[in-house]
């Protein structure tokens, strides 16, 4: 489910006023997060090792991503 679909489900459930107030501030951040997730593809955030690729053995050179999400 995309963020747009999640927002639509919440609007359909009657949370329109709260979502409108919330989305004014959070929507740009959520859009950026979704865009970043789409750009990363199979890469996921790891709390200790930065970004690592899913279902892939960890490299022996201990690669660490310095890009802050």
Q: What is the pLDDT of residue 66?
A: 54
pTM of whole model > 0.75?
no
| 55 within some domain | no
| 19 within some domain | yes
Q: What is the pLDDT of residue 6?
A: 75
| 37 within some domain | yes
pLDDT tens per residue across span 16-46? 776 667 667 777 777 777 777 666 655 555 5
- Read off the tokens for 57: 């053995």
pLDDT tens per residue across span 39-56? 665 555 555 655 555 555
Rounded Cα–Cα distance for residues 8 and 48 (Å): 34
Q: What is the pLDDT of residue 11?
A: 76
Rounded Cα–Cα distance for residues 50 and 48 (Å): 6
| 7 within some domain | yes
Domain region containing 7 = 3-43
| 26 within some domain | yes
| 63 within some domain | no
Spell out the residues 6+ positions from residue 68 whose beta carbon is closer than 8 angstroms to its own: none
Spell out the residues 6+ positions from residue 46 whose beta carbon is closer than 8 angstroms to its own: 52
Q: Kindly report the CA angle at 63 between 59 and 66, in degrees rounded to 5?
A: 155
Q: What is the pLDDT of residue 13?
A: 78
| 31 within some domain | yes
The total number of structural domains in the chain stands at 1
């Amino acid at each position: 489910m995309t963020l747009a679909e999640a927002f639509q489900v919440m609007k359909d459930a009657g949370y329109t006023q709260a979502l409108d107030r919330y989305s004014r501030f959070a929507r740009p951040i959520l859009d950026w997060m979704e865009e970043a997730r789409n750009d990363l593809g199979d890469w996921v955030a790891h709390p200790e090792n930065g970004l690592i690729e899913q279902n892939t053995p960890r490299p022996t050179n201990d690669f660490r991503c310095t890009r802050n999400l």
